[in-house]
Amino acid sequence: MSTITAATLAPDVVELRQFPRPDVGPTGMLIEVLSAGICGSDKHMYQGHAKLQFPVAAGHEMVGRVAAMGDQFETSSRIVGGPVQVGDRVTITPSTQGCRQCWFCSHVPHKPSLCPNRLIYGFTPVSKSPHLYGAFSQMMYVGPKSNVFKIPDDLSDERAAMTEPMAVASRAVERAMGGGIPHIGEGLSVGKRVAVLGAGPIGQLVVVALRHAGVGTIMVSDISEHRLQMARRMGADITLCIKDMDASQRLEAVREATDGVGPDVVIEAAGVPAAFEEGLAMVRRGGRLVEVGHFFENGTIALSPHTICHKEADVLGVWAYPPMQFETALYLLSHSSAPLDDLMTTTLPLAEFEQGVRLTGNEQVIKVMINPQL
Ligand SMILES: [Zn+2]
Ligand SMILES: [Zn+2]
């Protein structure tokens, strides 16, 4: 392959462009993309909700086969589950490693996603050489200081391509875990009751992670009965369809399932400001509200700060995850008993990427996958 076809993304514009196959040099790697998932953030970029330098080389959820690797790649990047050689399957965290120089890298090293100096695959302008920084491409370029995870043999390509969204979901669940004192009633632990707002791909994977973590009752709300049906298959106990119940009925149903007090933990994965408001109303006094859905600015709500005081609620944000969250995600993808493959409702060739972006978010669709080798 001397020329490589890659999709570029800008508001309302998807293009398939040809690029020369890059030379990996001493510290680069080239992977042949086997499967790549379309994320809600790809749709947000297409809809013009993101402030980025467009067009970008899109695609940040992928599995690929190593096609070429520089002789110093192993020392310049972090390789987990390796060693890795040409022919092996790998996935890459969207962010390169923290710079280790900025204030955040120096003071909050356990949260490298706060470093502003990282390169983000799938969100980088396509004008940046060698252009192939996204996964919706026959081949993707992986530069120095990347985080590379070798894929276990028992994981299919498509399931492995869900490592990134599973990392987001499992991070959201782990954010709610207590500081080693769950028996006094704080945070998430075995038997706790959790509400998940939103049953898109992240909400579904949150349910999977919660079930595997041994929590008690899992309640899920969404606008789509199809998605709620899927959530039940992933392990949800109670589902609440927004079309059939108004906010006060949902609150009542959730209270009824929790001794009248509300869930110990609420995870907002809908990305709709009103869902945050509902989550705050729902969570029990002394409980935790985790906000993972608003990766993009999607409007505001009026809220009463008194509610947070009166409930003594912990409100926690999630901004991506530390790179080793991929290890947790790969573990869950291998060990969960949930029918995870059913989440991938659609697979399309690269030529139909724009159609895939349009489909993403539709009620009948959970996850759209692109196979650039078709
Ligand atoms: Zn994503
Ligand atoms: Zn930094």
At 160-176, the pLDDT tens digits run: 999 999 999 999 999 99
Residue-level pLDDT at 25: 97
Q: Could you tell me the distance, in angstroms and rounded to a whole number, from the CA of residue 108 to the centre of ligand 2? A: 9
Nearest to 151 by CA among 325, 336, 334: 334
Which ligand does the CA of 293 lie closest to?
1
Specify whether the CB–CB gap between 4 and 23 falls below 8 A: no
Distance CA 304, CA 277 (A): 10
Distance, in Å, from the CA atom of 154 to the CA atom of 150, rounded to the nearest integer, reads 12
Has residue 179 got a pLDDT over 70? Answer: no
* CA 118–ligand 1 middle distance (angstroms): 16
Ligand nearest to the CA of 104: 2
Q: Which ligand is nearest to the CA of 100?
A: 2
79 CA distance to ligand 2 middle (Å): 20
Q: Is the pLDDT of residue 262 over 80?
A: yes
pLDDT band at 149 (very low <50, low <70, confident <90, very high): very high
What average pLDDT does the segment 321-326 reach?
Answer: 97
Residues of the chain with CATH 3.90.180.10: 3-161+339-371
The architecture in CATH of the region 3-161+339-371 reads: Alpha-Beta Complex (3.90)
Ligand nearest to the CA of 205: 1
- 239 CA distance to ligand 1 middle (Å): 24
289: pLDDT strictly greater than 70: yes
Burial class of residue 1 in the structure, from the number of CB atoms within 10 Å of its CB (0-12 exposed, 13-18 middle, 19+ buried): exposed
Query: How far from the centroid of its chain's Cα atoms is residue 72's Cα?
Result: 30
Compute the distance between CA of residue 17 and CA of residue 13 in angstroms, rounded to an integer: 12
Ligand 1 centre and the CA of 252: distance in Å? 33
Which pLDDT does position 181 carry in this prediction? 59
pLDDT in tens, 340-373: 999 999 999 999 999 999 999 999 999 999 999 9
Distance 41 CA to ligand 1 centre (A): 6
| CA gap 126, 53 in Å, rounded | 9
CA of 120 relative to ligand 2 center, distance in Å = 13
What percentage of residues in the chain have a pLDDT greater than 70?
A: 98
Rounded distance between C-alpha atoms, residue 60 and residue 36, angstroms: 8
What secondary structure letter does DSSP report for 144? T
Residue 189 has pLDDT above 90, yes or no: no
Q: Which ligand is nearest to the CA of 101?
A: 2
Q: What is the pLDDT of residues 68-102, one digit of tens each?
A: 999 999 999 999 998 999 999 999 999 999 999 99
In the chain, list all ranges with CATH 3.40.50.720: 167-317
Q: With a cut of 80, say whether residue 131 has pLDDT above it.
A: yes
Band (pLDDT 50/70/90 cuts) for residue 180 is low
Q: What local confidence, expressed as pLDDT, does residue 1 receive? A: 72
Give the number of the ligand closest to the Cα of residue 114: 2
Does the pLDDT at position 230 exceed 60? Answer: yes
- Say which ligand is closest to the CA of 107: 2
Place of tokens 């009103």: 274
Q: Is 237 helix (H, G, I), strand (E, B) or coil?
A: coil
Class of domain 167-317: alpha beta
Q: What is the mean pLDDT of residues 196-220?
A: 98
pLDDT of residue 186: 76
